[in-house]
Amino acid sequence: MPLIRNGEIVADTWRVLEEVEDIPAEGDVIVSLERLKNSTKQIAARADRTGVAIENSADPVELEAHLAHLDLIALEFPAFTDGRAYSQARRLRTQYGFTGELRARGNVLVDQAGFLKQVGFDSFEVTDGQSLEIWNASARSMTLTYQRGYDGGQAIREFAR
Amino acid sequence: MYRYDEFDATFVRQRVDQFRGQVERRVNGELSEEEFRPLRLMNGLYLQLHAYMLRVAVPYGTLNSAQMRKLAFIADTYDRGYGHFTTRQNIQYNWPRLPDVPDILEHLAEVEMHAIQTSGNCIRNVTADHWAGVAADEAEDPRPHAELMRQWSSLHPEFSFLPRKFKIAVTGASADRAAIRYHDIGLRLKKNGQGEVGFEVFAGGGMGRTPMLAPRVRDWLAKEDLLPYLEAIMRVYNLHGRRDNKYKARIKILVHALGAEEFTAQVEREYARIDAPHIEPEQQELKRIAAYFAPPDYDALPGDDPALALRLEKHEDFAGWVERNVSAHRAPGYGIVNISLKPIGGIPGDASSDQMRAVADLAETFSLDEIRISHEQNLVLPNVAKRDLFALWQSLGEHSLADANIGLASDIIACPGLDYCGLATARSIPIAQDISRRLGDPARQREIGDMKIKISGCINACGHHHAGHIGILGLEKRGEEYYQITLGGSGDERASVGEIIGPGFSAENLTDAVETIVDTYMGLRENGETFLEAYRRVGPDPFKEAVYATH
Ligand code: SF4
């Protein structure tokens, strides 16, 4: 599953930790929400980075107490038509002030690149076979956005009307 | 009327280019139909029974002559010489070819139009009172707000993959001509005690298989707060609306499941922590948009035109048309002209390209270049001086556009039904044609008076049958079409959902049943009460008895 960040395919330094594995002291790992809640102290003491993957039905409020120890939050698209993670991302960025990496995973389609960026995602696990070229073209296909307060293209607020 | 600036124009062009690329990828197989589907839907393109169907947005139902001419051009060039105006104030073309669609969109962009979000699980084209800005009973013109919402909802990054489609309607008048409580969000501009104008907000209405009237979630919302508040509603819905069952995915189900109070509390909580200052449009931006909707320069005319009075006396047909089709205008000496797209026995909402061009010309000559589309599938010339009414009526007559039946029994709303629609369970157009022929005698329908008959070809209720005084729903059992009748529905400020009167009827017996209902009403009405008033007084029983005794 190629990972795209900043318009490039990059090596993924993160590893998703299996439920049966112990939390290692080193290495960038992504844990489940359960794990995060149950092993708070252990995670806070880690030398390397920790991320969490949450389901798209989870309320970001559950992460609130842990945000200081999180460098990455992975949000899920079980189907590309299931848009809950857009609102989760938006909440994490604007209401919880999360500044770490927001990763989109699951059924992530190239044609959603622009929207994903605008709500605050910055890395994307895209389905095999989608070319980087098309991804970047898609992310750039709309350079203007009407919505105020969203990232991405040139927002209407910055446009001298 | 709103005019695109450079931002709007570039936005729409980029969207066309983007879709052109997507169509190419579909045609050469890079995109599967499943992946292409939500993309084409967000550009108004459906796959129907026989062909693709393109639905073009007419935002809040307002357009000018150049735009109408372009619609006629598209009908001639890419379709079969006609278009179908819908209950969503849109126009549909039934026969475009997929590779042509990007070109059609480019033509539309030339006249500041598009097909963005006329379908798909996103915020649909915003609808508004078709008399907005000219109605005599208005607190404020809702169109600047509708335009603001058009912009805000266009390719909204957070709300483009909702559980289900999402429809917003807005009115500024006390009489509700936009059926706001039948929408996912309904907005009404009103004045408070201090003379300030704000919104009354309703959420969770809808038709479909579970019709619901939207409860009020906010009695008063300051105008500037509209977008942040809408975002709060949308976010609660996007996160918590059901996605496991498409028939339970509309916001009305969420509102109903939580209860209006709890839903409202969740929205208010979200609203309290939303990044409002960032989302709110700037005052100057609101002013910029509103300036486009400033009232035009009306001539200073006397309220009554003496020449008109004379014509009315001499021409009975003309007088009948003025009575039904011309409504009160806020400017003295002007009228709102409603053009019926419901010729007796015709297809509701269909217009030929010749008719579109004729209306465009007449709007230029007589209506300050403005045309409206009503959700009742008729056209409106909103700014006609009374002294011009006679000439206008004569010209309309030359194009078979002078039917004097607005609001009468033959002014029927009907969805495309099984003749076009892939989801249909029964035909609706032939049913409408049959009823129209049966009840359409001019004297008879005038005698019957105000009557809204609305027909849907399946449970999705695009023909608004739940809101029909007489509603007709086409269904299918073992390969046979049959039709359920509901009575007492209404989409106005006293909105109600029609009640099913009993077992359905075959296509052959349906028109008889409708006629029996109408005759029953004629027999029992008192003091000139309308059908709806009479129904509300006597209830369904007399109608049931009459209908099921004879069939
Ligand atoms: S009501 Fe049903 S048949 Fe009619 S247009 Fe809608 S989906 Fe099609």
CATH of the domain at B170: 3.30.413.10
Residue B339 structure tokens: 């053009």
CB contact B278 to A (< 8 Å): yes
Q: How far is A101 from chain B (nearest CA, A)?
A: 18
Our answer on whether the CB atom of B424 is closer than 6 Å to any ligand 1 atom is yes
Residue B86 DSSP class: -
Same domain as B419, residue B390:
no
Residue from the list B151, B157, B275 with its beta carbon closest to the beta carbon of A118: B157
**CB–CB of A81 and B38 under 8 A?**
yes
Whole-number pLDDT of residue A153: 60
Do B473 and B423 fall into the same domain? yes
Q: Is residue B264 within 6 Å of ligand 1 at its C-beta?
A: no
Contact A95, A103 (CB under 8 A): no
Separation between Cα atoms, residue B169 and residue B14, nearest integer Å? 27
Is B376 in the same domain as B457?
no
Q: Looking at residues A110-137, what average pLDDT do you find?
A: 88
pLDDT computed for residue A12 by the predictor: 94
Q: Do residue B448 and residue B524 come from a single domain? A: yes
Q: Name the residue in chain B with its Cα closest to that of A151.
A: B157
CB atoms within 10 A of CB A42: 13
Answer whether A86 sits within 8 Å of B35, measured CB to CB.
no
C-beta atoms of A80 and B38 within 8 A: yes
The answer to whether residue B317 is domain-embedded is: yes
CATH H superfamily, domain A3-159: Aldolase class I (3.20.20.70)
- Which of B377, B427, B460, B465 is the best mutation target for the ligand 1 pocket, counting ligand atoms within 8 Å of the beta carbon and taking the most? B460
* Residue from B181, B183, B173 nearest B126 by CA: B183
In this complex, the residue of A83, A143, A145 whose CB is nearest that of residue B162 is A83
pLDDT at A138: 86
Q: What is the DSSP letter of B213?
A: P
Question: How many whole angstroms separate alpha carbon B336 and alpha carbon B327?
Answer: 5
Q: How far is Cα A77 from Cα B227, in angstroms, rounded to an integer?
A: 27
Do B282 and A157 count as a contact with CB atoms less than 8 A apart?
yes
- C-alpha distance from residue B276 to each of A88, A115, A152, B229, B288 (Å): 17, 20, 19, 8, 20
Q: Distance between CA B354 and CA B346 in Å, rounded?
A: 16
B296: exposed, middle or buried (Cβ count in 10 Å: 0-12, 13-18, 19+): middle
Q: Which pLDDT band holds residue A122 (cuts at 50, 70, 90)? A: very high
Q: Does any CB of chain B come closer than 8 Å to the CB of residue A61?
A: no
Domain edge (last residue) among B77, B110, B143: B110
Domain assignment present for B297: no
Between CA A57 and CA B467 the distance in angstroms is 35
A131 touches chain B (CB under 8 A): no
Is residue A160 very low, low, confident or very high in pLDDT (cuts 50, 70, 90)? low
Query: Model confidence over A4-29: pLDDT tens digits?
Result: 998 899 999 999 999 889 999 899 99
**Residue span of the structural domain in which B522 resides:** 413-550
- Strand B168-171 versus strand B127-128 pairing type: parallel
The three state secondary structure string of B308-361 is: HHHHHHHCHHHHHHHHHHEEEECCCCEEEEEECCCCCCCCCCEEEHHHHHHHHH
The partner residue sitting opposite B158, judged by closest CB among A82, A86, A141, is A86
Q: Do B238 and A87 touch (CB under 8 A)?
A: yes
Rg over CA atoms, chain A: 16
Specify whether B166 is located in the same domain as B64. Answer: no
How far is residue B341's CA from residue B413's CA, in Å, rounded to a whole number?
Answer: 10
Phi first, then psi: give them for residue B202, nearest 5 degrees: -115, 145
Percent of chain A as helix, strand, coil, to the nearest 5: 35, 25, 45
**Is the distance from the beta carbon of residue B456 to the nearest atom of ligand 1 less than 6 Å?**
yes
Indicate the top mutation candidate among B209, B456, B464, B484 to test ligand 1's pocket, ranked by most ligand atoms within 8 A of CB.
B456
Does any domain span residue B92?
yes
Residue B14 has its nearest CB partner, among A83, A119, A141, at: A141
- Do B216 and B318 belong to one domain? no
- Give pLDDT, residue B353: 98
Q: Which is nearest to B517 in space by CA: B509, B527, B528? A: B509
* Domain shared by B159 and B282, yes or no: yes
pLDDT of A140? 86
**Cα separation, B396 vs B401, whole angstroms:** 5
User: Which mean pLDDT values do the consecutive 10-residue runs of chain B (551 residues) have?
Assistant: 94 95 92 88 88 94 98 97 94 94 97 95 96 94 97 96 97 96 98 94 96 97 96 98 96 98 98 91 91 95 92 96 97 97 97 98 98 97 98 98 98 95 95 98 96 97 97 96 98 96 97 98 96 98 92 51
**Which amino acid is it at B450?**
D
The CA distance from B392 to B385, in Å, is 10
How many whole angstroms separate alpha carbon B60 and alpha carbon B217?
23
CA B435 to CA B412: how far, in whole Å? 9
The continuous run of DSSP H or E covering B389 comes out as helix B389-398
What CATH number did the domain enclosing B388 receive? 3.90.480.20
Number of residue pairs across A and B with CB atoms under 8 Å? Answer: 102
Tell whether B48 is covered by a domain.
yes
| CA distance linking residue B259 with residue B240, whole number of Å | 13
Helix (H, G, I), strand (E, B) or coil at B356: helix
Domain shared by B84 and B159, yes or no: no
CA B132, B135, B136 angle in degrees (round to 5)?
150
pTM: 0.95
Amino acid identity of residue B47, one-letter, is: L
- Of all protein residues, the one whose alpha carbon is nearest to atom 6 of ligand 1 is B462
Asked if residue B415 has its Cβ within 6 Å of ligand 1, the reply is yes
Return the SS3 of B218.
Answer: strand
Q: Which residues of B93-128 are buried (b: 16+ CB within 10 A; e: fewer)?
A: bbbbebebbbbbbebbbebbbbbbbbbbbbbbbbbb
Of B75, B110, B145, the residue at which a domain comes to its end is B110
Total domain count, chain B: 4
Q: Is B158 on the interface with A (CB under 8 A)?
A: yes
- Residues B38-70 as b/e (b if ≥16 CB within 10 A, e otherwise) read bbbbbbbbbebeebbbbbbbbbbbbbbbebbbb
Residues B199 and B233 in one domain: yes
In this structure, how many other beta carbons lie within 10 angstroms of the beta carbon of residue B182? 29
Residue B551 tokens read as: 């069939």
Q: What is the C-alpha to C-alpha distance for residues B400 and A149, in angstroms, rounded to an integer?
A: 50
Q: What ipTM was estimated for this complex?
A: 0.95
What tokens does A13 get?
């330094």
Residues of A in contact with B285 (CB under 8 A): 156, 161
Strand partners, B134: none
Question: Do B286 and B326 reside in the same domain of the chain?
Answer: no
Q: Residue B363: which of B395, B411, B331 has the closest Cα?
A: B395
Residue B227 shares a structural domain with residue B279: yes
Instruction: Indicate whether B75 and B175 sit together in one domain.
Output: no
Degrees (nearest 5) of the Cα angle B417, B56, B172? 95
